């Protein structure tokens, strides 16, 4: 759904659910990209929003999935 980079990614990563993943300072200091993915209405199972944080090397350093949108 959305890909944020740099300072915007770090600010969004600190926001508490349901507006962000609420990642702590140890993750946000290393975070370079925040990927936001959501389920679609026709997907099987409950709806969700997933936040994935990546460092500058492209390694996933944090993931949080919340139910709903």
- pLDDT computed for residue 50 by the predictor: 95
d(CA 13, CA 40): 22
- Strands lying side by side in the sheet with 2-5: 2-5, 31-38, 48-55, 60-67
pTM for this predicted structure: 0.88
- Using 50, 70 and 90 to split pLDDT, how confident is the model at 45? confident
- pLDDT computed for residue 43 by the predictor: 82
């Amino acid at each position: 759904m959305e890909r944020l980079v740099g300072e915007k990614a770090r600010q969004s990563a600190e926001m508490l659910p349901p507006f962000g993943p609420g990642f702590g300072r140890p993750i946000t200091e290393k975070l370079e990209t925040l990927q936001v993915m959501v389920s679609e209405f026709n997907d099987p199972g409950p709806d969700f929003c997933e936040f994935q944080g990546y460092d500058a090397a492209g390694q996933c350093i944090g993931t949080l999935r919340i139910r709903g949108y």
